[in-house]
Homo-oligomer: A and B are copies of this chain.
Amino acid sequence: MIYCGETIQPAFSPANRGLNYGDGLFETLRVHVGELPLWPRHLARLREGAGRLGITLPDADFLEARIDGMIAGEEAGVLKLLVTRGDGGRGYAAAAAMEPVWQLSLHPLPPAQTSLRLGWCETRLAIQPRLAGIKHCNRLEQVLARAEIDRVGCDEGLMRDGEGRVVGATAANLLAFRQGRWLTPPVERCGVAGVLRGVLLEAGLVDVAEMTVADVETAEALALCNAVRGILQVGQLGERRFRSHPDLYGLQMALSMRYPMFSTPGESA
């Protein structure tokens, strides 16, 4: 369903700024028994992004009513919300107050994966603090990195920034277990502040720490996390293999107690 403000539109305009410049934001949310358990956190990130980019969001009550209508009765799935700045403008210049053009779509959960095989991506994430953390639609770096990973037959890829610091995977945050603590890289220079990463940080289950390639490769255990798939075990990174680790099981359990939708790795992963 596509809307301009609160009006249904049959399609996106050729002048849509999302289409022309990636001038928009998106959220990908896990649906669980007709609800979006992480909705407040997704909305908070969306508002942060809209504030930084100067994009007007649809009215929250209107948006939530449309979402409720769409996910009612859905046992499990993925809801994608895409909010573009709107249509038109003069080149890169937008009009002062544009009506946002946005879309809701429902998708099946991705297939289950129990242990991921990762590789390092050659494509780096450019350092851009103004766009870091938020979930905007300028994703060519991730598209290029993902293509690398598909070529070598891995499940996901780890990305570094332009100066060599580890940032995360193409579509998930990285968790590394080192010296008795779960750590995840900062996302102030580049990368996305994942909603599930936020849950784990606020619960005190994970801490932020800078990481080099060597730090990651010598970790005791690795995992990826995102708001759709929960916490996924990493079984291999390059040549290094990682065994099941009791502390990873502990972390998954702690998350499941807060969000039961992540309690069945077979389905959720």
Q: With an 8 A cutoff between CB atoms, is A263 at the interface?
A: no
Pick from A8-16, A36-44, A236-244 the stretch touching chain B: A8-16
**A82-B20, A123-B130, A162-B127 known; A142 vs B103 contact (CB < 8 Å):** no
- B142 and A21 contact, CB distance less than 8 A: yes
For window 52-95 of A, CB contacts with B under 8 Å fall at: 53-54, 82, 84-85, 90-94
24 contacts between A and B (CB under 8 A): A10-B11, A12-B12, A12-B14, A14-B103, A17-B143, A18-B19, A19-B84, A22-B137, A22-B139, A23-B140, A53-B140, A53-B144, A90-B110, A92-B143, A93-B146, A94-B143, A94-B147, A124-B128, A130-B144, A131-B140, A131-B141, A137-B140, A138-B138, A138-B139
**A91-B171, A94-B147 known; A138 vs B22 contact (CB < 8 Å):** yes
Task: Collect the chain B residues with CB atoms within 8 Å of residue A131's CB.
Answer: 126, 140-141
For window 102-144 of A, CB contacts with B under 8 Å fall at: 103, 105, 110, 123-124, 126-128, 130-131, 136-144
